[in-house]
Amino acid sequence: MKLLEERIKKDGKALGKTVLKVDSFINHQVDSEFMDALGKDFAEHFKEYGITKVFTIESSGIAPALMTAKYLDVPMVILKKQTSKILNGKVYQTRVTSFTKGTSYELTLYQDYIDQNDKVLLIDDFLANGEAAMGASRLIKESGADLTGIGILIEKSFQKGRKRLEDAGYYVYSQARVGRLDKDLIEFLPEDAP
Ligand code: 5GP
């Protein structure tokens, strides 16, 4: 998606070879008009998939996920990052390791907000090693619902996330695919690159 690539070129900052900072428009300060455009693009892309809910993982995915849900006219559900296990039977929980922080959390979903007939679109800001998305997929699978698609703003294609998700049978659409990062260098891959 050209709009996102242009914005990353203008306002993104590569912190070495693995981490891209997009704090000024995605995950610290948020550009609402821009999020609206990204949400519209996801909704357009997934409009024929029969999506019944948009899921995201707190907190950076919330803004684009909300806009996507608005355009698809379905609810948005935020998967929570809890520090400890909740010991009642009303939740699905799974342990996830954070790429950026190197810490772990219990990804948590109340059973009230999903049922086995749901077709879920998962939206997240970054795809790195796929830990967060694989965690979300475990919760959705446990509920009996279908993870119909995964929409990512920025995929770092040099990390293994996309391959892991595709090998597990999931469909991934990324609005920007970063092929290489280095200090002051951000290179993109075309949408259909292998
Ligand atoms: P994964 O779970 O795919 O290994 O990592 C994805 C999660 O880690 C995203 O939800 C995002 O919060 C964070 N993340 C991964 N790589 C980056 C990055 O380069 N920049 C930022 N800002 N967050 C990242």
pLDDT for 91? 96
Q: Which of 15, 23, 30, 125 to mutate to test the pocket of ligand 1 (most atoms within 8 A of CB)?
A: 125
Our answer on whether the CB atom of 60 is closer than 6 Å to any ligand 1 atom is yes
pLDDT for 2? 94
Q: Exposure string (b/e) for 123-145, b if CB count within 10 Å is 16 or more?
A: bbbbbbebbbbbbbbbbbeebeb
CA–centroid distance, 145 to ligand 1, in Å, is: 25
Q: In whole numbers, what is the pLDDT of the chain averaged over residues? A: 96
Our answer on whether the CB atom of 132 is closer than 6 Å to any ligand 1 atom is yes
Spatial distance between the Cα atoms of 100 and 104, rounded to a whole number of angstroms: 11
Q: Which residues pair with 185 in a beta bridge?
A: 182
DSSP 8-state assignment for residue 79? E
User: Over 80: is that where the pLDDT of 59 sits?
Assistant: yes
Q: pLDDT tens, 66-104?
A: 999 999 999 999 999 999 998 888 999 999 988 667 889
CA–centroid distance, 27 to ligand 1, in Å, is: 11
Confidence bin at 21 (pLDDT 50/70/90): very high
Q: pLDDT tens, 162-174?
A: 999 999 999 999 9
Q: Which two tokens stand for residue 183?
A: 């200090």
What is the domain partition of the chain in residue ranges? 32-176
Which option is the CATH number for 32-176: 3.40.50.2300, 3.30.465.10, 3.40.50.300, 3.40.50.2020? 3.40.50.2020
pLDDT for 88? 83
